């Protein structure tokens, strides 16, 4: 595929990744002159027309919105049997790789990453897009530490196929929600469950459930209890531990209703790790903070109560499967199904009647008890700790201090009470309070090298304000990123204090891109370089006997599209034509000449000759034909006629005695 041009604009340069469904390539957009990532679906998916139509529809829907924490989709296309998505190219690594290298992550790192993921999901959910495949493999971290969630289009389009291809998507099964594993209809809370598993993995370095196959893992999501992260890593604060427990509840209704609520809790925990998160959406106002043992016991007890529910859900799934086969099995199947419906319906009706009877009895009995010793939690917020204790204990309630935390209220005063003021409780019930330590100190977050908007988010979520924003040149920090803050990172400041930031304007020395000079003449290259504030450097000629190449550049010192400083010199190599006969001399006709005459002629033309035969004879042969051209100094081999012997003796008569 390397070198393939898609859509007459995207040239595939190199393979950069492969998953169960697609192969990812780095590509160059020849129209916008930028690098992109192209995800090409594998043939087994491209050949499914129904899948492809759904995939294309969802991918295009995702492309309609934009968020800084979501990988942008630029284009969706097909060419022959190749179906592809063109996406933003993110230089960095996956969250999965980051976890492998750094697990378990610190609370600060986990929160910073989680808040960005939550913002991405919040944007998607508001645009009616459910991801359905949230996992660390689909979350990227760029070189600035910015989180980018990817694979929205593919994730939703494959909701029904995922567990089927068990040999290819074992990674996804580790993050399935129970309703996904059952093949049930899902909503945005399925993303919340998977997101909770991702946070779990960041905190502990492992996934809660593992197995030899995707089906085995999926069954554990349905049946087994998640061991709270705090049990594995005691340093995990109660707040974050409870958040994970709440997000990964097996019953959808017990999870966060929406990711916005989860985001708010994450930001509150980042600001104060003692913030109280209720572990279940079904809890009443009596919000609790439990230690790891309490949470584990509660979860196991809850699981015992849900075994019947899980079985019932399995029965429902079997019924749905039966209905799917009706068209194939005819009336026999329909009759069997109706019998089953009557049986299940009768059992369900009996269960409801029993439930109403038992529930009414319990309610009436419990209600009469509450009325006898019902008390109201007194109004104690704003009172000193001693005043609050007196007010609570005078009513026969138990006063419990949950802890202290910084706030803008005076030190020693009550800032929170659980249950809330005015709540009806029984005598001797606990009333738990939090006491203010006064305005606390907060560390200025380290936002150097982060983008402007990301840095501002970090500062605000720490309970601080963004002050003056100035700009300056930097040779090290890229344009648009933070150079420094005032106060500097890790400085202790009060909540609500301002933090000034300096944003990079980039290098003081301006940069420019080297143009493509190949095929240009020296004069043309000089003109093109001048347009982008560059100069022509040294030029080296290479001789060629191809006159069509004469004067054309074939190599340049800096490749095209390279970023260099302005006014830099670009050296080139170019072709210079030379006539192959230039400087050569035409060979004369030596035949019939005497050796002396031949030698004189050769000397005048710059040739050398060798003669074999009779020195007094005439030249009868030459090895280089007349008219050929040779370089001066070349040697020509001649043969002279050998003189015949005098048989008659006439010649002797002429000789003197």
The predicted model gives 483-499 an average pLDDT of: 90
Q: 79: closest CA among 129, 185, 29, 6?
A: 6
Between CA 652 and CA 556 the distance in angstroms is: 80
pLDDT attached to residue 271: 86
Residue 363 has pLDDT above 80, yes or no: no
Tell me the pLDDT tens digit for each residue of 258-268: 999 999 899 99
| 584-640 under CATH 3.20.20.70, yes or no | no
| Average pLDDT of span 167-173 | 51
Reported as a pLDDT band with limits 50, 70 and 90, residue 280 is low
CA distance 592 to 622: 11
388-438: pLDDT as tens digits: 999 999 999 999 987 777 777 888 999 888 788 888 888 888 888 889 888
- What architecture is domain 511-577? 2-Layer Sandwich (3.30)
359 vs 535, higher pLDDT = 535
* Arithmetic mean of pLDDT, 293-320: 34
Kindly report, residue by residue over 516-548, the tens digit of the pLDDT. 999 999 999 999 999 999 999 999 999 998 999
7: left (phi over 0), alpha (psi -120 to 50) or beta: left
Count of C-beta atoms within a 10 Å radius of residue 208: 23
Q: Comparing 87-91, 189-193, 392-396, 492-496, which segment has the lowest mean pLDDT?
A: 492-496
Same fold, 375-436 and 511-577: yes
Q: Is the pLDDT of residue 582 over 80?
A: no
| Backbone phi and psi for residue 98, each to the nearest 5 degrees, phi listed first | -65, -40
Per CATH, is 5-88 categorized as 3.30.200.20? Answer: yes
pLDDT recorded at residue 154 = 59
Q: Is the pLDDT of residue 192 over 90?
A: yes
Class of domain 375-436: alpha beta
At residue 340, the pLDDT reads 42
The secondary structure of the chain in percent helix, strand, coil, rounded to multiples of 5, reads 40, 25, 40
pLDDT confidence of 478, banded at 50, 70, 90?
A: confident
pLDDT at 305: 33
DSSP secondary structure of 190-250: HHHHHHHHHHHHHHHSS-S---SSHHHHHHHHHHSPPPPHHHH-TTS-HHHHHHHHHHT-S
* Cβ proximity of 248 and 203 under 8 Å: no
Predicted pLDDT of residue 346? 44
Pick one of 1.20.1250.20, 1.10.10.10, 1.10.510.10, 3.40.50.700 as the CATH number of 92-281.
Answer: 1.10.510.10
Tell me the pLDDT of the chain averaged across its residues.
79
Which of 173-187, 188-202, 587-601 is the least confident region? 173-187
Band (pLDDT 50/70/90 cuts) for residue 201 is very high
What pTM value is reported for the model?
0.46
Asked if 248 and 226 count as a contact pair (C-beta separation under 8 A), the reply is: yes
* Residue 310: per-residue pLDDT: 35
Domain covering 441-504 assigned CATH 3.30.10.20 in the classification:
yes
Instruction: Tell me the pLDDT tens digit for each residue of 12-44.
Output: 999 988 877 789 999 998 877 889 999 998 888
β-strands 22-29, 34-41 pairing: antiparallel
pLDDT digits (tens, 9 = 90+) for 341-351: 444 444 444 44
pLDDT top residue among 621 and 50: 621
**Separation CA 338–CA 217 (nearest Å):** 33
pLDDT at residue 170 in the model: 35
pLDDT of residue 21: 77
pLDDT digits (tens, 9 = 90+) for 443-455: 888 888 888 877 8
201 part of the active site: no
Predicted pLDDT at 169: 38
Catalytic residue among 44, 143, 318, 586: 143
- Asked whether the predicted pLDDT for residue 164 surpasses 70, the reply is no
Greatest mean pLDDT among 149-153, 399-403, 652-656 lies in: 399-403
Residue 436: exposure state from Cβ atoms within 10 A (0-12, 13-18, ≥19): buried
Q: What span, in angstroms and rounded, lies between the C-alpha atoms of 49 and 329?
A: 27
pLDDT of residue 32: 79
Residue ranges of domains in the chain: 5-88, 92-281, 325-372, 375-436, 441-504, 511-577, 584-640
- Look at residue 364 in the predicted model and tell me its pLDDT: 43
Task: Note the pLDDT of residue 615.
Answer: 82
């Amino acid at each position: 595929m390397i070198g393939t041009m898609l859509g007459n604009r995207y040239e595939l340069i190199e393979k950069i990744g492969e998953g169960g469904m697609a192969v990812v390539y780095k590509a160059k957009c020849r129209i916008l002159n930028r690098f992109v990532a192209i995800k090409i679906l594998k043939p087994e998916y491209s050949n499914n027309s129904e899948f492809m139509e759904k995939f294309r529809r969802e991918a295009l829907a995702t492309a309609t919105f934009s968020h800084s924490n979501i990988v942008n989709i630029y284009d969706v296309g097909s060419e022959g049997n190749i179906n592809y998505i063109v996406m933003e190219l993110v230089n960095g690594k996956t969250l999965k790789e980051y976890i492998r290298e750094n697990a378990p992550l610190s609370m600060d790192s986990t929160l910073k990453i989680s808040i960005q993921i939550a913002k991405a999901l919040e944007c998607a959910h508001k645009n009616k897009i459910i991801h359905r495949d949230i996992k660390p493999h689909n979350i990227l971290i760029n070189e600035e530490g910015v989180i980018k969630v990817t694979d929205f289009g593919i994730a939703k389009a494959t909701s029904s196929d995922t567990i089927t291809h068990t040999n290819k998507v074992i990674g996804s099964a580790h993050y399935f929600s129970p309703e996904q594993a059952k093949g049930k209809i899902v909503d945005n809370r399925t993303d919340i469950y998977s997101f909770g598993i991702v946070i779990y993995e960041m905190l502990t370095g492992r996934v809660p459930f593992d197995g030899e196959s995707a089906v085995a893992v999926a069954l554990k999501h349905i049946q087994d209890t998640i061991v709270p992260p705090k049990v594995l890593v005691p340093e995990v604060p109660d707040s974050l531990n409870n958040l994970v427990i709440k997000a990964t509840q097996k019953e959808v209704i017990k999870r966060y209703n929406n990711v916005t609520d989860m985001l708010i809790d994450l930001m509150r925990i980042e600001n104060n790790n003692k913030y109280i998160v209720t572990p279940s959406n079904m809890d009443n106002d009596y919000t609790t903070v439990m230690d790891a043992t309490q949470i584990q016991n509660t979860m196991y007890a809850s699981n015992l109560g849900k075994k019947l529910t899980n079985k019932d859900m399995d029965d429902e799934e079997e019924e749905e499967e039966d209905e799917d086969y009706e068209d194939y099995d005819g009336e026999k199947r329909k009759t069997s199904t109706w019998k089953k419906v009557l049986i299940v319906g009768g059992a369900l009706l009996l269960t409801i009647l029993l439930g109403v009877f038992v529930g009414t009895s319990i309610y009436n009995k419990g209600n009469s008890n509450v009325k006898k010793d019902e008390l109201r939690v007194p109004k104690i917020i704003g009172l000193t700790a001693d005043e609050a204790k007196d007010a609570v204990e005078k009513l026969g309630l138990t006063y419990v201090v949950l802890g202290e935390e910084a706030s803008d209220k005076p030190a020693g005063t009550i800032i929170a009470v659980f249950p809330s003021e005015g709540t009806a409780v029984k005598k001797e019930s606990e009333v738990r309070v939090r006491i203010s330590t006064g305005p606390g100190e907060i560390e200025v977050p380290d936002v150097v090298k982060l983008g402007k908007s990301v840095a501002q988010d970090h500062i605000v979520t720490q309970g601080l304000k963004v002050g003056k924003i100035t700009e300056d040149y930097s040779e090290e920090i890229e344009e648009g990123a933070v150079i420094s803050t005032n106060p500097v990172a890790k400085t202790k400041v009060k909540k609500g204090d301002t933090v000034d930031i300096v944003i990079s304007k980039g290098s003081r020395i301006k940069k420019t891109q080297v143009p493509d000079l190949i095929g240009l003449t020296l004069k043309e290259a000089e003109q093109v370089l001048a347009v982008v504030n560059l100069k022509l450097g040294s030029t080296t000629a290479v001789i060629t006997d191809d006159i069509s190449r004469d004067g054309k550049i074939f190599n340049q010192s800096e490749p095209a599209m390279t970023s260099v400083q302005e006014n830099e010199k670009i050296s080139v190599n170019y072709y210079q034509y030379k006539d192959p006969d230039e400087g050569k001399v035409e060979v004369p006709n030596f035949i019939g000449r005497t050796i002396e005459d031949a030698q004189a002629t050769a000397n005048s033309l710059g040739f050398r000759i060798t003669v074999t035969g009779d020195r007094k004879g005439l030249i009868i042969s030459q090895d280089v034909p007349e008219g050929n051209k040779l370089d001066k100094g070349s040697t020509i081999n001649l043969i002279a006629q050998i003189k015949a012997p005098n048989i008659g003796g006439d010649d002797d008569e002429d000789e003197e005695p």
